[in-house]
Amino acid sequence: MNSAPHRSGVVAIIGPPNAGKSTLLNQLLRQKIAIVTPKPQTTRNRIMGVVTGSGYQIILLDTPGLHAAREEMNRQMVRVALESLAEADAVLFLADSAEVVAAKREQRAEEFKGYLDRVACPVVLALNKTDLLPPERLLPVIDWYRGLHAFSAIVPISALNGTQIDALLAELVALLPEGPQYYPDDIPTDASERFIAAEVIREKIFLRTRDEIPYSTAVVIDTFEEGDPVVIRATVLVERDSQKGILVGRKGAMLAAIRKSAIVDIERLLDRRVRLYLWIKVSRNWTDNLNTLRELGLA
């Protein structure tokens, strides 16, 4: 009796900002790789995660949220997300099940159809945050999405709680072609330790600051010295002097708090002690500067 063929392939996770794409990636990987905050447009770069199971391997591409972008950085983020579609064997469109209210439905229908019409491969719809939606409101939402696209499957989930994650995995695996295992069992991502460290620092800035500050900052790892402790020196870019003052805080309190909370997470990820040094640098209007965006891997 022949065993089932091994399946492997690329699944691009796309969808609007704040739908929970990074939370879902971390849930599927059973560890935190992508940073997560309550603010939209937290993810800027494409992040690869590898889910390996019995008879399958899924290479997941977590992408920036799809939105009507005005600034150059945001346009580049949307470009990265849409370009990921060309590499995919299947697409996972993730949406907030509670987000589509009557007032926004017509606008959202046109926007979502525009994204989905670009997809040439099978699409699975995952309706996230069902833990926040009364069951009687879920069926009308599913019907509304059925009118937008011929989805291969629709799976209501809670990425935060892990509800229906196994069912979602099964639907994705069924769409993958037969193929070998490309990555070892213990490789959850191709992201470098430098990249993950920079993302953790940026997450702490997102969580501790308000208004435009998180969106006007970027983190550059200047040096990453292996050892025990690992010594990391990083520069935080901001656009204005006033933003630098806020990030430093009274007597350096804000920067110290960001540094302290970042160390905790980076040490957990690296499983080593970490010594972290942070500097703030004003780089005026860097979010609209293509050269700076290229240096940051955002263009």
Q: What is the C-alpha separation between 3 and 37, in angstroms, rounded? A: 42
Q: For 54-192, where are the alpha helices, taking DSSP H only?
A: 72-83, 105-116, 135-146, 165-175
* Tokens found for residue 112: 């979502």
CA-to-CA separations, 188 to 43, 55, 61, 160, in angstroms, rounded: 18, 17, 12, 19
What pLDDT was estimated at residue 101?
56
Tell me the three state secondary structure of residue 272.
coil
pLDDT score for 190: 87
DSSP 3-state percent helix, strand, coil across the chain (nearest 5): 40, 25, 35
Q: What is the mean pLDDT of each run of 10 residues along the chain (299 residues)?
A: 83 90 93 85 87 95 80 84 87 88 69 89 96 87 92 96 96 96 90 93 94 92 95 97 95 96 94 96 92 84
Pairing of strands 230-238, 218-225: antiparallel
Kindly give, in sequence order, each residue whose CB lies less than 8 Å from that of residue 258, ignoring residues fewer than 6 positions away.
201, 204, 205, 208, 247, 278
Residue 144's contacts (CB-CB under 8 Å, 6 or more residues apart) are: 100, 105, 109
Strand partners, 14: 93
Please tell me the predicted confidence (pLDDT) of residue 78.
82
pLDDT computed for residue 92 by the predictor:
97
